Structure 1
Amino acid sequence: MFFPVCIDIENKKCLVVGGGKIAYKKIKTLSRYNPDITVIAEEIKEEKIKEIENINIIEKRFSGENLKEYMLVVAATDNKELNEKIAEFCINNNILVNNITSKENMNARFGAILENEDYQILVSSHGKNCKNSKNLRDKIKNIIK
C-alpha cells in the first residue's frame, strides 16, 4: 500500500531509463520541479525529449551503473525484464523507483497532478487506471477554478 507524500526533488539527481513516449511524459512531469535529470536510452525514440531544457541525455545501452547516486529512478524502457531489474535494485537499496511496466514492482507512483497558487493536489488510482485519475483531477479542477 502506498502512502501519499509530496517530496522536494529540486536539484536532486533523478534518472529516467528509456527514450520513448512514456519516458517523455515522466521527464516532462519531473522537469516542472527542477531536478537534475539524466536520461539514459539506447535510442531517443521520442524526439521531444531532446527539446527539454536542462537534462543530461546519454544515448547508450543501460548497464546499471551508478544507480545509488540517484534519489529517484524511472524505469521507462520497453523491456519489462530490464525495468524489473532496475526496480528490484532500487527497492533493495532504498531508492525511489517508478516502474512503468508494473503496477506492483515499484515504491513510487506518479499520479494526476493539479496545481494552482493555492493548492497542489495529486489524484491516484492505486496504479490501476490513470485515465480515471486524470478524469477526477479534471473534475476537481472545475470545482476549484
Structure 2
Amino acid sequence: MSFFPMYMDISNLKVLLVGGGNIATEKIEKLLDFTENIKIIAPFISEPLREIIKDKNLSYNLRPYMTGDINGFDIVIIATDTIKIHKEIYEESRGGRIWVNSVDNKDYCDFIFPSYIKRGDLTISFSTSGSSPAFTKQIKNYFERKIPENIDEFLDNMKTLRGEIPKGRDRMKTFKKMVKEYMNKNFS
C-alpha cells in the first residue's frame, strides 16, 4: 500500500532523532525547514550534525538509545545502522500515539520523508512510496529547474491580497486571472 500524502504543522510537536551520522544529518536538515523542536540521542554525532546542533541550539544526549527515551515525543526518526534498534523503538512506540520513521526500513514506518522542493510558502513533494528514491530525486530535480526564481514574491503578494480583498466571486476571478497571467508568463 502507498503512503497518504499529507502536509501537517509539526512546529509544536516534539521530535526525537535517534542517530548521529550522515543520514541523521540529512533528516535534521529537512526537519529544520519545518521545526526546531528536535532532540537528538546518539552515541556518536558527526561533525556536520554537531555544527547544526550548535547553530540551532538543539538538545542532545551523547549516548545510546534507552527504552523509554521516546516518552513525551510525538515523532521519532530512527537513523541508525542497527536494525534491532529500529525494531525495538518501533515496537515500543506502538503503545502510544507516536509517529515513527525508520530510515530505509519501511516495515517500521508510520510515515516517510518525501523528496521535496520548498520555496517560501510553496512546498511540492515527490514520492514513490519507497520504490525508487533515485527516480524521486531525478523528478524533483527536473521540477526544481522549472520553478521561477520569483515564485516567493508572487506567493507573498497573493497572501497579502487574500487578507485585503473581501471573499467572494470577484476575489476568485481576480486570483484566477493573476495566477493564469503568472503561469503564462513563467511556465510557457
Give the TM-score normalised by the residue count of structure 1: 0.90
1:78-136, Cα deviation, whole Å (9 max, x unpaired): 11110111122224423111101412321010011112245211101111222211111
2: CA distance, partners of 1:80 / 1:144: 39
**What RMSD in Å do the two structures reach over aligned CA positions?**
1.6
Structure 2 unaligned regions, length at least 5: 149-188
Conserved 8 A contact 2:86-2:108: no
1: CA distance, partners of 2:116 / 2:18: 22
Cross-structure match for 1:126: 129
Give the strand-richer structure, 1 or 2: 1
2: CA distance, partners of 1:58 / 1:49: 13
Conserved 8 A contact 1:73-1:95: yes
Conserved 8 A contact 1:91-1:106: no
Give the helix-richer structure, 1 or 2: 2
The residue type paired with residue 137 of structure 2 is K
Cross-structure match for 2:49: 49
2: CA distance, partners of 1:9 / 1:132: 27
Question: The residue matched to 1:34 in structure 2 has which SS?
Answer: coil
Cross-structure match for 1:16: 17
Counterparts of residues 1-145 of structure 1 (less than 5 Å): 1=1, 2-44=3-45, 46-52=46-52, 53-117=56-120, 119-145=122-148
1: CA distance, partners of 2:106 / 2:60: 27
Distance change >3 Å, CA 117–CA 37, structure 1 → 2:
closer
Conserved 8 A contact 1:99-1:105: yes
Deviating beyond 3 angstroms after TM superposition, the runs of 4 or more aligned structure 1 residues are: none
The residue type paired with residue 5 of structure 1 is M
2: CA distance, partners of 1:99 / 1:14: 13
Structure whose CA Rg is larger: 2
Structure 1 unaligned regions, length at least 5: none
Q: What is the percentage of aligned positions where both structures have the same residue?
A: 30
> Matched residue pairs, number?
144
The residue type paired with residue 41 of structure 1 is A
Conserved 8 A contact 1:71-1:96: yes
* Higher RCO structure (Cα 8 Å, ≥6 apart): 1
2: CA distance, partners of 1:87 / 1:97: 7
Q: CA deviation at 1:23?
A: 0.6
